[in-house]
Amino acid sequence: MVEKELNYIASRQAAETSSNEKDGGVTVEVLPFDNDKPKGSTFTRIVDSFRRYEAEDLNLDPNLTDIEKTAIITANSPLSRSLKNRHLQMIAIGGAIGTGLFVGSGKRLHTGGPAGVLIGYSLIGTMIYATCQALGELAVTFPVAGAFVTYNTRFIDPSWGFAMAWNYAMGWLITLPLELVAASLTVDYWNDTINPAAFVCIFWVLICVINFFGARGYGEAEFVFSIIKVIAVVGFIFFGIIVVSGGGPNHKYLGAHYYYDPGAFANGFKGVCSVFVSAAFAFGGTELAGLAAAETENPRKSLPKATKQVFWRITLFYVISLLLVGLLVPYDDKRLTSGTSSADARASPFVLAVVDAGVKGLPSVMNVVIMIAVLSVGNSSVYASSRTLAALAACNQAPKIFNYIDRKGRPIFGVIVTCLFGALCFLVASNNESLVFDWMSALSGLSSLFTWGSICFCHIRFRYALRVQGRSTDEIAYTAQAGVYGSYYGLIFIILVFIAQFWVALFPLGGSPNASDFFQSYLSVPVVILFYVGHKLWTRNWRLYVRAKDIDLDTGRRELDLDVLKQELLEEKEIIAGKPFYKRWWHFWC
């Protein structure tokens, strides 16, 4: 039965493909969104663009399982494929550069010390690298709507897929109002007499307008935001090297002074453990390149490059910049804990390093970068949550209205609902906004760790299914550089981080065990368990996992002729093998 469905999909894709473009020997399918362009005035064309895209009914066999139906539906989503290679590269490079690096690293410097921060972020970085490699392999092979959100249902279990998808959607829904408030509070750095609600309104409208332009609008905005963030980090690295070496305005040589006085570690091993979750938050958004695979023109060409950028992002933007931060700012500086929000530049070690060096004007520039970083996260929130809701609706795990895809390939009702949820940012005018936002943050605090752990496990299950079904990685266009062992490492490391976070949540630094601190740090875990158990009870599907021999390894591939794909991959390997060493090295890492 599955073979019949696959044959039907292949014939449908061939019929719907308006043109086949050869891009480096890879066939690129272009969905026919523009074949039925609305005519008339500009206003009429805009209104008509919001009408539902009338996709052909798949007429799925009722005897198919829910897992098979999910695979087929998400593989045939009418989402727009308008993201280009440059968009994906900048989403990958700049996606994880945000307040977790610019501001959050300050509190972690205070609790973990310079060496603790460097160790914590570096270890989380190695896990992120392995996870992104696993995601790259899966997303290149199956560039379907929802990506890793639906992989959980396909490779692990529908109930786990339901829990992870809602966990991910809820995490981004909650992130949007939090980031909008944080963006408005960055203005306090220059003028704290203006009501932040005014700037909240401006930023909320900006983010909503960007996302009404669809995937292309999101991609262009992230392209600009990421370029600014990358330039800022690279500029800070050069600045830091000069100041540490004694080339600043005061010509004071710092060297490794702060590693000796006040010291390299602030609270020993527990201090290092406290860094892990904050570091994970800082890397949040790294997986967005995989989520965007379904809306990319040519994921086989774009995604491997985007995935390989993770190594450089971790090394250059995090490890080197945080090494310099630890050399420029002592961990006992009280200003590191003086911030009133997650985007308060006054508590940013990057800003403090510039202020202490006596360079005028640069602190304001860094605050602008922090504001842009916050808006970038808000922009990603709308994109990620709306696409996740669309995938959930397509799988009958959310209201059907969220699967309304318009003629421009936008999940328009998902965008609208996410933006309306973002209006919670106006709580900034309330006296209790801090309490509300603290508990909202608690709901999504460990969301990224759950997502990354599931990605690693999906990759492990995918490779195991290949082996059980007598197939090999020769039919995969891109294989993870870290291999399946990287996914085992990532999964085990994430489990250890959960254990460390439980310890720190139960026995907080400088405090005694209490329910409020514990649940603000660990509330995500019981929420995920509730989603999982609730789905099991609702569906009465008591199987714990999908058997490897039953896992569908074909639906969702854009290259349906595996023999042709294998031949192309073999030819590409021969071409690369014949190139000079430096070109082979460049191809491997970039």
Q: How confident is the model at residue 275 (pLDDT cuts 50, 70, 90)?
A: confident
Helix boundaries (H) for 142-287: 148-155, 158-185, 196-211, 214-244, 257-260, 268-282
pLDDT tens-digit profile of 30-59? Answer: 444 444 455 566 767 666 666 766 655 556
Tokens at 291, concatenated:
């989520």
Question: For position 252, what pLDDT does the model report?
Answer: 82
Q: How confident is the model at residue 24 (pLDDT cuts 50, 70, 90)?
A: very low
Question: For position 325, what pLDDT does the model report?
Answer: 92
Q: How confident is the model at residue 99 (pLDDT cuts 50, 70, 90)?
A: confident
Q: Which residues contact 422 (CB under 8 A, 6 or more apart)?
A: 176, 177, 180, 204, 207, 208, 378, 381, 382
Cβ–Cβ under 8 Å, residues 313 and 303: no
More confident residue, 429 or 195: 195
Question: For position 91, what pLDDT does the model report?
Answer: 77
Question: For position 108, what pLDDT does the model report?
Answer: 87
Instruction: Indicate if the pLDDT at residue 15 is higher than 70.
Output: no
Question: For position 73, what pLDDT does the model report?
Answer: 67
Instruction: Indicate if the pLDDT at residue 122 is higher than 70.
Output: yes
More confident residue, 536 or 53: 536
Average pLDDT over residues 534-562: 85
Question: For position 2, what pLDDT does the model report?
Answer: 43
pLDDT tens-digit profile of 282-340? Answer: 887 788 877 777 777 777 777 888 787 777 777 778 889 999 999 999 999 888 887 65
More confident residue, 454 or 283: 454
Q: How far is CA 62 from CA 9, 95, 196, 535, in A?
A: 16, 41, 54, 21
Average pLDDT, the chain: 80
Instruction: Indicate if the pLDDT at residue 457 is higher than 70.
Output: yes
Question: What CA–CA distance (Å, rounded) separates 427 from 416?
Answer: 19
How many residues can be counted in the chain? 590
Which residue type occupies 285? Answer: G
Question: For position 417, what pLDDT does the model report?
Answer: 92
Is the peptide bond preceding residue 249 cis, with omega within 30 degrees of 0?
no
Average pLDDT over residues 355-360: 86
Q: How far is CA 283 from CA 98, 280, 446, 481, in A?
A: 8, 5, 12, 20
Instruction: Indicate if the pLDDT at residue 117 is higher than 70.
Output: yes
Question: For position 20, what pLDDT does the model report?
Answer: 39
Average pLDDT over residues 273-290: 81
Tokens at 173, concatenated:
């829904």
Average pLDDT over residues 92-101: 74
Of 273-277, 454-458, 544-548, 559-563, the range with the lowest mean pLDDT is 559-563
Tokens at 576, concatenated:
């690369």
Give SS3 for 203: helix
In the chain the domains, ranked by start, together with CATH numbers, are 2-559 (1.20.1740.10)
Q: How confident is the model at residue 489 (pLDDT cuts 50, 70, 90)?
A: very high
Average pLDDT over residues 77-104: 75
Give SS3 for 333: coil
More confident residue, 287 or 160: 160
Instruction: Indicate if the pLDDT at residue 258 is higher than 60.
Output: yes
The DSSP output letter for 445 is T
CB atoms within 10 A of CB 376: 27
Question: What CA–CA distance (Å, rounded) separates 485 from 527?
Answer: 30
Instruction: Indicate if the pLDDT at residue 405 is higher than 70.
Output: yes
Instruction: Indicate if the pLDDT at residue 66 is higher than 60.
Output: yes
Instruction: Indicate if the pLDDT at residue 495 is higher than 90.
Output: yes
Percent of the chain whose predicted confidence (pLDDT) is above 70: 82
Q: Which helix (H) or strand (E) holds 491?
A: helix 483-506
More confident residue, 133 or 146: 133
Q: Is the dihedral of CA 385, 389, 395, 398 positive or negative?
A: positive
Tokens at 150, concatenated:
């639906």
Question: What CA–CA distance (Å, rounded) separates 170 from 590?
Answer: 33
Average pLDDT over residues 199-225: 88
Question: For position 492, what pLDDT does the model report?
Answer: 95
Question: For position 8, what pLDDT does the model report?
Answer: 41
Question: What CA–CA distance (Å, rounded) separates 140 from 304?
Answer: 8
For the whole model, what pTM was predicted?
Answer: 0.85
Q: Which helix (H) or strand (E) holds 455?
A: helix 447-468
Question: For position 554, what pLDDT does the model report?
Answer: 84
Instruction: Indicate if the pLDDT at residue 1 is higher than 60.
Output: no
Average pLDDT over residues 453-475: 92
Question: For position 490, what pLDDT does the model report?
Answer: 94
Q: Which residues contact 348 (CB under 8 A, 6 or more apart)?
A: 102, 103, 106, 339, 366, 370
Residue with tokens 């969702």: 556
Residue with tokens 């961990």: 331
Percent of the chain whose predicted confidence (pLDDT) is above 90: 18
Instruction: Indicate if the pLDDT at residue 70 is higher than 80.
Output: no
Residue with tokens 């992989």: 151
pLDDT tens-digit profile of 499-524? Answer: 988 888 888 877 788 887 788 888 88
